[in-house]
Amino acid sequence: MTIVIDVENVSKQFKIHHERSQSLKERLLHPKSGSTEVFDALKGVSFRVSTNETVGILGHNGSGKSTLLKCICGVLQPTSGEIRLRGNLAALLELGAGFQTELSGRDNVYLYGAMLGLSKRHVDAIFDNIVAFSEIEHFIDTQVKFYSSGMYVRLAFAVAVNVDPDILVVDEVLAVGDERFQAKCVDKIRTFQEEGRSILLVTHQADQVRALCDRAIVLDGGLMIANGSVQDSLRIFREHLLEDAVLHDRIGHQADVAIESITTPSGSFDVRSGAAMHFDVNISSHTAYSGNFVMEIFTRGGLLVSRSDSQASPVNLTPGLNQVGVDLAQIPLLDGVYDVNVGVVDHHGTVIAWKEQAASIQVTYNGREGGIVELGASIRQL
């Protein structure tokens, strides 16, 4: 395991001009007009990424995750601190940013390849793969300005993933393109993981981090507040998101709601597949509050198995301790450990209280079906 990205105590400050004056006249006439504010986008962030590791970077808007990524890619220079990189890096900060719309797709592939640091001979060798991946064979000699946005994005992604990077940096680009293309991107990322490459994935979709990452980093206001397992980081991310919501939301602060604990009558979370299950969830509240209860069940691999209907589970909380009962008529899950998240949301679906990994259910199954759910398929020859 070689360390390929070593971020050491990186800080980045931006000068923000209020009342920007970029004309000479303005600067000559009012040399001191407009105040300049220094904004700390990153404050002493340090972490490392090794080969064969996929690390997610979580954070809400303005948390500094894009700045961090730009520093790692070398688009921005940190104000202080150092980033050491090993191996070549391909960044997908914005698909097609390097494209010249006047040139044909073919010319752009070569130009973009050169931007990513490839020789012409190298691009010659991978050109067919790029075109095949992008699925725009017929239009490769058309000027890019006539491309549809989908074609544009596909071509850019095809170049970036075919350059054989040791480190792939992806910034929310998986959110573009149609579903089939997204699936293709995720597939490609999985292939990269199998090949032992390092991937840095920036997103604010918790599901994506769960599904793809080995580890996650959480940024908040330029500070790194978590660097650990996906579950821990997601928990911290959710909690911070809540704190922020409480601070910023006028309605939110009235309801000081917290999930205290989750218990079963027997005290055990082991269950046979197909059996019924009952949870008691203890929720404390400082004021009376009415919202909806929601429960999620995940596999350890990070796949969402089920989310309860948050529109139709009203709870009316009274000040003090409240108890909510959850009945599962039967659990059709197969062997494995499943994590349970519970929370309270308001009528708009905004999370008021949340407990990540509130419980883990251990399901035992004696049959021979494989996967995560028992469908009980009966097969007969007709």
Q: Which residue has the tokens 């419980």?
A: 359
Burial class (CB in 10 A: 0-12, 13-18, 19+), 264: middle
DSSP line for 90-125: EEESSTTTT--TTSBHHHHHHHHHHHTT--HHHHHH
Q: How far is the CB of 159 from other proteins (least distance, A)?
A: 12
Q: Which residue has the tokens 């910023």?
A: 248
Instruction: Please pick, from the candidates 49, 55, 91, 277, the single residue that binds other proteins as defined by CB under 8 A.
Output: 91
Bridging pattern class, strands 320-328 and 304-307 = unpaired
Q: Is 4 in the site for other proteins (CB under 8 A)?
A: yes
Query: 82 or 280: whose CB is closer to other proteins?
Result: 82
141 in Cβ contact with 110 (< 8 Å): no
Query: 58 or 73: whose CB is closer to other proteins?
Result: 73
Instruction: Please pick, from the candidates 30, 33, 34, 97, the single residue that binds other proteins as defined by CB under 8 A.
Output: 97
Instruction: Please pick, from the candidates 43, 44, 48, 85, the single residue that binds other proteins as defined by CB under 8 A.
Output: 85
Q: Is 79 in the site for other proteins (CB under 8 A)?
A: yes
Instruction: Please pick, from the candidates 2, 266, 318, 323, the single residue that binds other proteins as defined by CB under 8 A.
Output: 2
95 in Cβ contact with 156 (< 8 Å): yes
Instruction: Please pick, from the candidates 62, 93, 244, 256, the single residue that binds other proteins as defined by CB under 8 A.
Output: 93
Beta strands in 237-376 (DSSP E): 257-263, 270-272, 277-285, 289-299, 304-307, 314-317, 320-328, 336-345, 351-364
Q: Mask 150-169, x = binds other proteins (CB under 8 A)? A: ----------------x---
Q: Is 170 in the site for other proteins (CB under 8 A)?
A: no
Query: 81 or 332: whose CB is closer to other proteins?
Result: 81
123 in Cβ contact with 159 (< 8 Å): no
Instruction: Please pick, from the candidates 60, 111, 232, 369, the single residue that binds other proteins as defined by CB under 8 A.
Output: 111
Sorted by sequence, the CB contacts under 8 Å of residue 367 that are 6+ apart come out as 273, 334, 374
Q: Is 284 in the site for other proteins (CB under 8 A)?
A: no
Query: 104 or 282: whose CB is closer to other proteins?
Result: 104
Applying the rule CB under 8 A, the residues between 178 and 237 that interact with other proteins are 194-197
Q: Mask 320-349, x = binds other proteins (CB under 8 A)? A: ------------------------------
Q: Is 23 in the site for other proteins (CB under 8 A)?
A: yes
The DSSP letter of residue 22 is -
Query: 161 or 281: whose CB is closer to other proteins?
Result: 161
| 3-class DSSP string for 137-184 | HHHCCCEHHHCCHHHHHHHHHHHHHHCCCCEEEEECHHHCCCHHHHHH
CA atoms of 55 and 50, how far apart (whole Å): 9
Interacting residues with other proteins (CB under 8 A): 2, 4, 14-17, 22-25, 27, 51-52, 70-87, 91, 93-94, 97-98, 100, 102-103, 107, 110-111, 114-115, 117-120, 166, 194-197
